[in-house]
Structure 1
Amino acid sequence: MNAKKHSTLDHALDNYSTADFLLSDHFVNHQLEPTPETALLWETWLAGNPPNRHEWDRAVYLLESIRLGLSHYAGQVISEEAIEALLARIRETNRQYSVPVRSIGRVRWMAAAVVLVLSGLLAYWWHGRHDSESYYAERMAGLQSKYTERVNRSRAVETIVLSDSSVVRLAPGSRISFNPSWDGASRVVYLSGEADFEVTRDIRKPFLVYANEVVTRVLGTQFTVRAFDAEGKVLVNVKSGQVSVSKDDVPEKGNVQDASGLLLLPNQQAVFSRRSEEFSKSIVSEPRVIGVENEMPSFEYDAVPVTRVIGDLEKAYGISILYNREQLKNCELSASLKTETFEEKLRVICTTINADYQKLDGQVVIHGGECR
């Protein structure tokens, strides 16, 4: 995808704002009615224009907040027809102003202000709900007093060391509850907000994190869970080891073995949409090397078979890369890739062999390629 395919995104590639995306009919249509084709096009465009990723993520969050808030509100006050009408008006507004964003001036900022005010009102409505409607509050109401709660009201990350030596880094505005003695069959933690976990391995007692509608189950690993009540998604990001995530249907039983979900490996993440109640799996935005440093490949190549280079990437980052071995068997690479990121390494490889790649379901798929 390139900027010419976006009538409202045809100015400097590194200078898009959240409002620019929200005013793009292509962006809104993809968020409301995504298809595999539009997902691939947007992911390819973002990969080629990385400075825009942050503003893209903000625009996705704002639009998802609007959709989630309207969905919940409909069950109490307004009809589904009214919601559809509002979403249709968003699309229609974008069509009416399908001109270069930098040139629409006052109209651009008025439209952006409408979206931001609406999302702000929805956030206020979320926070203003009675605590009994919060997943975390519901769980806490049913727990015994032996659970300890820690709340991070500061502006810095708070480090908590649990009795099994597991470490929790609790983000500002987050709270967590746990049983200090771990006297049950599993180590159960309840989270509202965001936290990084470094779990001490214990095969006898799995470690369970309940956060909104999602339960994350591990034996020992490093991962991050983000699940704020006001957000429309739950994110689980794996740094090392493996994690299983599933929908939390029976939190009081602490048993998720029969629940359907996803298995996540290092450098993979799962996003649970609270609106559609569906999981999606992908590669994290910035994969990091996961192996032991002295066992890592040098990433220095002089006429080395591309198949070996791809194998080095898989070993270093733990990410599966699918490609046609027969088609690439005669390809070689001469390059230094010591300082490049995972994404940059992939681009160098694909440029060398005249191929392209796609990130799909937590893996990389290399398409094409030819060497003589």
Structure 2
Amino acid sequence: MISRDQLARYLQGSCSPEEAEEIRQFIEQHSIQVEELLSAEDWDNTADLPYAEETQLKELIEERLIKKRRSISWTRLGQVAAAILIICAVFLYQQRSERAPVHGGEQQKRIVEKKPAAKVGNLFFINSSNEDMNIYCSDGSRIKLSTGSEVRFAENFTSLSERRIELKGKATFFVKKDRSRPFRVYSNKIVTTALGTAFIVEEKIGKTTRVELIEGKIDVKERVVKTKMPIHRQFETRGEILVDHVHKRILSEAKLTQNSNDRNGFYRQQNKQIVIKNLPVIDILNILQHNFNIKLKNASYLAANSFFSGTFREKPDAYKDIIKEINYLHKTNIETLNN
């Protein structure tokens, strides 16, 4: 295929004998269809050429073609001349456009069309087997999906602000550290956030959610806040929390405290009783505020190593008995702001 540069040099008489022969062979061997030689854009460009230049080019082409190939029929000659004329005219037009000055201080702007960001696909797993299923995320985090459970997450987290996992059922998560993209597990009512940790989330749709920290640190809070004292817990040592969504209360909370004694503390509501054992007082007060929808004062000064144990009958105002005992044992003056 001959190029526009070759045609330009041919018309100017500056091409080599080899190039001239190549052009003549092309004209002779190809049945040229003018409409096939140019794109729609090139056809549009030729419309802006001055008529005088078209005439000059045509005369030059016809003169050279007649000298070189007198045996070509006049019909064929017209097709060839017209084709070369259009190609060269487009070439000339482009050359002139590139050299055209910019008037009035205006700058030519190159319009770059921004492509929309590619959508990230989701992966969806259902474990219908009788064994746990190991699933790996794109960041290297591992999910151990329990039988009868479902999980959904993005196939790639690179372009996302968080590593969002939607869970139905139970799963254990082993999370790779990435402080720029928090790892969040969204169960039915609870959101658990982790940064480089291992934890378990187990839910029974519409009833309860259990979150257990195995290693590292997690933040647990309600997905939708509907109470004055919503659930919001942070676990920095091994522990767990069980939330009753029907009655909007914490059924149990357990923590392994970090002190010289390392006690296994917990709070449990079961069998019409509230059982507390070796749990930090500040954690007990947080649970009471949520479960009984109360607000307490004079509680912020309590030391983290203040613990409490006791068993109480479950009733609508059980928090009063618990606070009374805490005040007595720790010489505090904790009061409720609402009756």
Tell me: higher relative CO, structure 1 or 2? Use CA pairs within 8 A at least 6 residues apart. Answer: 1
- TM above 0.5, yes or no, is no
Answer with 1 or 2: which has the greater Rg.
Answer: 2
Pick the structure with more helix per residue: 1
The two structures have a TM-score, normalised by structure 1, of 0.37
The two structures have a TM-score, normalised by structure 2, of 0.41
